[in-house]
Amino acid sequence: MDYGKFKYQESKKQHEAKLKQKVIQVKEVKFRPGTDDGDYNVKLRNLVRFLEEGDKTKITLRFRGREMAHQEIGMRMLERLRTDLEEVGQVEQMPKMEGRQMIMVLSPKKKK
């Protein structure tokens, strides 16, 4: 076998392997402490879709003005999200404050 044919076959193998691998993206969904049920359900549906497609999700809860004094409302919302999404995702990073935002990262559950 000549060297040119060998190099061609190796590049084909690498190209096939590259096509088969999936790049995991991080999708972000933003909430506010006052997000009502209608908007909550739409965003929840998007989160479920992202997790089922195999992407990680970053949930950002943004506080503005006096909302910073009531961070427990945001914590309750993130807990509610965690319980609503426990069938399709698991918490990778627990909720933590970063400036005026509370951030939680979810990853998809492993398929059996």
44, amino acid identity = L
- Confidence (pTM): 0.75
User: Which domains are assigned to the chain?
Assistant: 25-108 (3.30.110.10)
Indicate if the pLDDT at residue 16 is higher than 70.
yes
pLDDT the model gives residue 54:
86
CA angle (96 as vertex; 91, 100 as ends), nearest 5? 135
Determine the pLDDT at residue 112: 58
Let me know the angle formed at the C-alpha of 53 by 50 and 62, rounded to the nearest 5 degrees.
15
Q: Which amino acid is at 8?
A: Y
Mean pLDDT of the chain: 89
User: What number is the average pLDDT over the span 55-74?
Assistant: 91
Per-residue pLDDT, 61: 93
**Buried b / exposed e across 39-73, counting CB within 10 Å, b at 16+?**
eeeebbeebbebbeeebbbbbebebeeebeeeeee
